[in-house]
């Protein structure tokens, strides 16, 4: 151990101590297992988290703010052991999914995904050291333990078959068998001295279909077969959701510029051994780690190495320097640390205080943090609404400041700017708490008060613009054409907390009439808020070949019904094509910036045929254009529409069927952009009642950057834009 002490981690000699217990939040019962992944993170299965929170086993929606109790064990060099109970929250979520990307249903034996990274409110010095990881391979001899972590639950397993997504494990005929409570636990390979995957499920003995009782044993039965996610698959799944700040930081190379500059700075600023010793002890206390000799201080190189391996040490050190006799020393430290990706912006104390403030914030405000982030830092590519709060804070903390700095002043970090925007959504007392916290961080970072005041003023202006705006209930319908006149549907509801899937069978095909009935059935099941009289928004998710599909004209023509039930007449119905945004990700920042200007942005009317390339040059950097009305014949129209959507125009309206001058374009010009969904619905109703006066067949493409869409599979695997 060096001068700066660390937590324990002698797990190579007792790997059963790797097992973290995940408990149920309601009764404290055991939900499953996990293991330490990083200084403040655990890895387990998503279905274990679902069990811990009393949710359906294969619930795909990520939990938001729920607390999950976990028990972490440690074993020290002197063989002393300890068990500590902590609270954890979701950081990253990879939902269980069937091989076709759909929902996993009860009775399925195998599935994909099913991973959850949890952020743990552990000691300041971090959790016990994470185990090494290695790839799984066939014939490896592995050990697994029950989530209780008891030594007697050891199960001996062998990798008998390995595939891209999972590995099959056979247990020893003697000894413990894998069963309930093992899910999410580490698979330890003694030969590799590393974790090579985690347990997911086991194949239970067969039961009688009529009685549900276990059948008498037969030599033909599958015995002690389990399956696991190999570490190489875990790594791929987690890479897809972003691993920043999850895995333990690597020690820098000896010639790393940040290490060299910090070593020089420490030697210059703390030349006296007594001053360096005093400062090092204060730093160790701030970071929750032990320290070595009270007489002999750490060498400048070891001091600098600690600053680049403990994620929050450099921030804590800058605070000590800011309070010293020469505050400019902190600027030198921060400048050198900015050359490394390891140091986080906040000190351990600042981060803990921020989490405390946010936990005491109303849930409806927390649900709007992604919206506030998009408004505060519109240049950032994406803040999807389904991202957990901890994951969002992770990303914000890693972002640089904005560009409004003058005369060499330090720029305001993205996190501080976002919290100013969050503050305007809060009651006055909570807003004051967040501002006092931000003032303290800004002072430590050396940010001028007028610079933070300018961002505060921006936030207040934004707050006034959104004060009366609320999230509308919506139903999302993915429509996939399978044959002439037949379509497959997947349906989600979103009451404001993100999409939750309500359809279970994605293989049934529907006619237009049957599809209307199915969508109306879901809409009838919703209970809108008592204070919101607006009908739910129906958002139809399509690929680019289906943008003109007349879903708004689908009608449930039931002979016994009094009214026809036309979808686009009863409900504001819009189309959304995530495929086009996904294929051109570089325009996602443009889309978000345009959406943030929806109420003040310009409208472009395309009234003559334009080559898509010419339209591209016209719109690519015209970020104040938020709405395009396409008033051209059907031939060139589709290319123009798709170009607009690919460039990130959030609102595009056109007439599906017209050949001459469009009455629709003239009529919609008088409707405010934000009111277009309801304006188009009114037009459709008038068109049904009086076709000569309202001859148009309107289509409204509507890409709301403040609301997320689920993971889609259209013509190829899609992800939410």
Q: How far is CA 486 from CA 23, 481, 508, in A?
A: 46, 6, 10
Backbone angles phi, psi at 652, to 5 degrees: -135, 130
CB 708 within 8 A of CB 384: yes
d(CA 623, CA 592): 10
pLDDT at position 242 over 70: no
pLDDT at position 590 over 80: yes
pLDDT at 720: 35
pLDDT at 407: 60
d(CA 265, CA 332): 7
DSSP state at residue 546: G
d(CA 520, CA 489): 13
d(CA 676, CA 649): 15
Give me the chain's average pLDDT, please.
84
d(CA 399, CA 418): 11
CB 462 within 8 A of CB 421: yes
pLDDT at 114: 92
d(CA 34, CA 417): 35
Burial group, residue 27, by CB count within 10 angstroms (0-12, 13-18, 19+) = exposed
**Containing H/E element for 22?**
strand 19-23
CA torsion, ordered 285, 290, 294, 296, to nearest 10 deg: -110
pLDDT at 576: 95
CA 486 and chain centroid, separation: 34
> How sure is the predictor about 470, in pLDDT bands with cuts at 50, 70 and 90?
low
Percent of the chain residues past pLDDT 90, beyond the cut:
37
pLDDT at 716: 36
What number of other Cβ atoms are within 10 A of residue 427's Cβ?
10
116-147 b/e with 16+ CB inside 10 Å = b?
bbbbbebbbbbbbbbbebbbbeeebebbbbbb
d(CA 14, CA 288): 25
Backbone angles phi, psi at 214, to 5 degrees: -60, 135
**Containing H/E element for 118?**
strand 115-120
CB 649 within 8 A of CB 625: yes
> How sure is the predictor about 8, in pLDDT bands with cuts at 50, 70 and 90?
very low
Across the range 699-706, mean pLDDT stands at 91
pLDDT in tens, 304-363: 999 998 889 999 999 999 998 888 899 999 999 989 888 999 999 999 899 889 888 887
Across the range 19-43, mean pLDDT stands at 91
d(CA 481, CA 509): 9
pLDDT in tens, 269-308: 998 888 999 999 999 888 888 888 877 888 999 999 999 9
pLDDT at position 248 over 60: yes
CB 322 within 8 A of CB 328: no
pLDDT at 49: 96
CA atoms within 13 A on the CB side of 67: 9
CA-nearest of 437, 481, 308, 368 to 65 is 368
d(CA 23, CA 613): 57
Backbone angles phi, psi at 482, to 5 degrees: -115, -30
Radius of gyration of the chain (CA): 29
pLDDT at position 706 over 90: no
d(CA 531, CA 369): 22
pLDDT at 171: 86
DSSP state at residue 542: -
CB 712 within 8 A of CB 581: no
pLDDT at 406: 55
What number of other Cβ atoms are within 10 A of residue 260's Cβ?
16
């Amino acid at each position: 151990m060096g001068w700066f002490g660390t937590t324990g981690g002698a797990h190579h000699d007792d790997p059963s101590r790797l097992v973290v217990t995940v408990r149920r939040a309601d009764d404290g019962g055991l939900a499953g297992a996990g293991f330490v992944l990083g200084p403040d993170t655990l890895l387990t299965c998503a279905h274990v988290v679902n069990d811990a929170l009393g949710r359906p086993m294969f619930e795909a929606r990520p939990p938001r703010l729920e607390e999950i109790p976990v028990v972490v064990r440690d074993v020290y060099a002197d063989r002393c052991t300890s068990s500590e109970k902590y609270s954890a929250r979701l950081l990253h979520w990879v939902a269980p999914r069937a091989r076709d990307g759909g929902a996993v249903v009860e009775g399925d034996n195998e599935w994909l995904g099913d991973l959850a990274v949890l952020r743990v409110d552990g000691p300041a010095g971090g959790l016990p050291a994470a185990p090494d990881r290695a790839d799984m391979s066939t014939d490896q001899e592995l050990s697994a333990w029950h989530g209780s972590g008891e030594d007697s639950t050891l199960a001996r397993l062998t990798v008998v078959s390995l595939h891209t997504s999972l590995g099959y494990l056979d247990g020893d005929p003697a000894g413990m068998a894998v069963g309930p409570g093992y899910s999410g636990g580490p698979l330890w390979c003694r030969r590799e001295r590393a974790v090579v995957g985690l347990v997911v499920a086991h194949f239970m003995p067969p039961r009688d279909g009529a009685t549900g009782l276990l059948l008498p044993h037969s030599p033909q039965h599958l015995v002690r077969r389990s399956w696991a996610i190999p570490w190489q698959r875990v790594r791929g799944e987690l890479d897809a959701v972003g691993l920043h700040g999850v895995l333990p930081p690597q020690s820098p190379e000896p010639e790393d510029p940040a290490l060299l500059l910090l070593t020089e700075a420490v030697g210059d600023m703390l030349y006296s051994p007594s001053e360096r010793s005093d400062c090092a002890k204060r730093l160790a206390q701030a970071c929750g780690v032990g320290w070595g000799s009270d007489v002999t201080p750490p060498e400048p190189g070891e001091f600098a190495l600690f600053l680049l391996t403990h994620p929050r040490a450099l921030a804590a050190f800058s605070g000590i320097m800011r309070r010293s006799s020469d505050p400019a020393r902190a600027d030198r430290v921060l400048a050198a640390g900015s050359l490394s990706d390891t140091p986080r912006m906040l000190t351990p104390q600042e981060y803990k205080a921020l989490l405390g403030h946010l936990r005491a914030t109303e849930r409806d405000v927390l649900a709007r943090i992604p919206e506030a982030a998009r408004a505060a830092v519109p240049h950032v590519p994406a803040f999807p609404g389904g991202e957990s709060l901890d994951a969002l804070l992770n990303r914000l903390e890693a972002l640089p400041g904005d560009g409004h700095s003058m005369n060499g002043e330090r720029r305001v970090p993205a996190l501080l700017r976002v919290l100013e925007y969050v503050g305007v959504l809060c009651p006055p007392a909570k807003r004051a708490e967040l501002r006092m916290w931000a003032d303290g961080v800004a002072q430590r970072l050396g940010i001028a008060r007028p610079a933070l005041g300018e961002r505060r003023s921006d936030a207040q202006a934004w707050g006034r613009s959104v004060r009366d705006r609320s999230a509308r209930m919506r139903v999302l319908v993915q429509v996939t054409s399978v044959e002439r006149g037949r379509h497959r549907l997947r349906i989600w509801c979103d009451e404001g907390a993100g999409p939750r899937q309500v359809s279970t069978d994605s293989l049934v095909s529907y006619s237009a009439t049957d599809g209307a009935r199915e969508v109306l059935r879901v809409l009838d099941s919703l209970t809108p808020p008592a204070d919101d009289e607006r009908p739910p928004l129906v958002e139809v998710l399509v690929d680019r070949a289906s943008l003109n599909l007349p879903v708004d004209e689908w009608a449930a023509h039931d002979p016994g019904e009094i009214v026809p039930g036309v979808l686009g007449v009863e409900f504001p119905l819009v189309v959304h094509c995530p495929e086009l945004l996904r294929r051109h990700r570089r325009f996602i920042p443009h889309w978000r910036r345009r959406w943030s200007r929806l109420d003040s942005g310009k409208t472009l009317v395309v009234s003559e045929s334009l080559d898509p390339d010419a339209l591209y040059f016209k719109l690519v950097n015209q970020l104040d254009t938020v709405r395009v009305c396409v008033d051209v014949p059907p031939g060139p129209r589709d290319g123009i529409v798709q170009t607009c959507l690919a460039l990130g125009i959030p609102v595009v309206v056109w007439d599906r069927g017209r050949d001459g001058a469009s009455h629709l374009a003239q009529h919609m010009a008088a409707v405010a952009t934000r009111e277009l969904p309801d304006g188009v619905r009114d037009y459709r109703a008038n068109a049904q009642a009086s076709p000569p006066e309202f001859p148009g067949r309107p289509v409204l493409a509507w890409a709301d950057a403040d609301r997320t869409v689920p993971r889609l599979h259209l013509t190829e695997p899609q992800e939410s834009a």
